[in-house]
Structure 1
Amino acid sequence: MEIFILAFFALGYLVLAGADIGVGMALPYLGRSADERREVIAAIAPFFLGNEVWLVATAGVLAGLFPELEGELLSGNYSVVVALLLAWVVRDMGLWLRGRVPGRRWAGFWDGATVAGSWGLALSWGLLLSHVLLGIRGPIALLPALVVAALFVTHGLTFAALRLRGVLRERAAVLSGGAGPGRSVGAGWSGVDVRTYALTAAALVAVGVLAGLRLPLHPGTAGAVLVPVILVLIPLLVAAQGWVWWTFRHRVTGPSYL
């Protein structure tokens, strides 16, 4: 049961947060003016904080139920983990601070921080997964890390295609040829957008599962106490995530609070 709980949170983070990380990576391509970038950021504004909860939950489950694995991952990848945390902070600073002071230079600087932090997150996860999956470190690990980063940005584009309108949606829908919305399947989403998003989500899940199969998943002794508590909290987390997606199920119609 402990393994399934860890997989649930870790894979949920890759799929959900992978989308907003990917949108941040593709921000210069999607938004080619200050107003366009603000509308692109509005696509992830309601989701990114909730998505980060899945990473916090994953870290908590790792520390509480798999202390041996936590120690091995941290001690063996200390610099990568530090880089990941720094990129996380920089990305969130960019999102929160871009609109706090009027002026295009201010917003442009923090948009750059959002892009840099998003790429830092993707590459850090890529390096970590490269070590777990392939057992490689050093400069050569950048090659598989770039593949993982490409998967993140692809996933972000498919999410942006679900959320944006007009020319922004056409740029995001590059994987489906930039075709028009076509037949709607609800909330103004097109079938091709949903299918493409599902494919990139499945690819991230596959990478996460393959990495998990390579890990020494030996639960600690705290499962008898923690597992029942976590099982009670999981439906609440899923319900909250579902409520957010339902509330913001329609396409973006303008800039957000960020």
Structure 2
Amino acid sequence: MEIFILAFFTLGYLVLAGADIGVGMLLPYLGRSGGERREVIAAIAPFFLGNEVWLVATAGVLAGMFPELEAELLHGNYGPVVVLLVSWVVRDVGLWLRGRLPGERWRLCWDGAVVAGSWGLALSWGALLGHVLLGLSGPIAALPALVLSALFAVHGLAFATLRLRGELRRRAAVLSGGAGEARTYALTAGALMVIGVLAGTRLPLDAGPTASLLTPVILTLLPLLVAAQAWVWWTFRHRVTGPSYL
């Protein structure tokens, strides 16, 4: 049961947050002007904070239920972990500050932070998963990092195709051909899940002594998290029609 809980949160994060990471990576391509970029960001605005809850939950499960695994993942991966955390902060700061003051230069600066932070997140996750799956570290780890980053980008395009309209949707649908966007999203989500599961098979998944105490608590809270996520997706199921609060 403990392994299921860890897998559930980890895979949920990869699929859900992978979409807004991918959209952020391709923001300059999807949005060619300030107004277009605001509309593209509106596609992920209702979701990105909720998606990050899955990462926080994953970290909590690791620390509380798999302390030895947490130590092993951090050992030798301090660089990617630091890049991941810094990129996370930079991306979120960019999203929150871009619309707080008027001026195109102000927004352009923070749009750059969103793009840089999104790429940093994708590359650092690629480096971490490459180390787990293939045992790669150092410069050669850049190869799996780039491959996974490309998958994040494609996943973001699929999500943007579901959310945007008009010319923005046409740009996002460059791979799906303007049709079957739900199928494309399902395929990219499935690919991320497969990578996550394969990485999990390479890890020592021995639960710690506190797992038996934490499992009932997490299982009690799990339906609330799923219900909240489902409510957000249902509420914002329609395509974006204009800029958001960001």
TM-score bracket for this pair, using the shorter chain length: over 0.9
CA distance in 2, matches of 1:141, 1:176: 30
| Worse-matched range after superposition: 50-59 or 75-84 | 75-84
1:85 aligned residue: 85
Runs of 4+ in 1 over 2 A off after TM superposition: none
- Please report how far the alpha carbon of residue 76 of structure 1 lies from its aligned counterpart in structure 2 after TM superposition: 2.1
1:127 aligned residue: 127
Q: Which runs of 5+ in 2 are unaligned?
A: none
1:228 aligned residue: 216
Find the residue that maps to 1:221 and give its secondary structure: coil
Report the TM-score when normalising by structure 1: 0.95
> Partner amino acid for 1:168?
L
* Residue 168 of structure 2 corresponds to residue 142 of structure 1: no
Alpha-carbon displacement from aligned partner over 1:51-91 (angstroms, at most 9, x marks no partner): 00000000000001000000111122111101100000000
RMSD of the alignment, in Å? Answer: 0.6
Find the residue that maps to 1:238 and give its secondary structure: helix
> Partner amino acid for 2:133?
L
Alpha-carbon displacement from aligned partner over 1:133-180 (angstroms, at most 9, x marks no partner): 000101111011100000000000000000000000000011112x3x
1:184 aligned residue: none
Report the TM-score when normalising by structure 2: 0.99
CA distance in 2, matches of 1:37, 1:45: 12
- Please report how far the alpha carbon of residue 110 of structure 1 lies from its aligned counterpart in structure 2 after TM superposition: 0.2
1:49 aligned residue: 49
> Partner amino acid for 2:206?
H
CA distance in 2, matches of 1:123, 1:103: 31
2:166 aligned residue: 166
Alpha-carbon displacement from aligned partner over 1:79-124 (angstroms, at most 9, x marks no partner): 1101100000000011000000100000000000000000000000
1:208 aligned residue: 196
1:176 aligned residue: 176
Find the residue that maps to 2:203 and give its secondary structure: coil
CA distance in 2, matches of 1:243, 1:252: 17
1:101 aligned residue: 101
Count the aligned residue pairs: 246
1:251 aligned residue: 239
1:19 aligned residue: 19
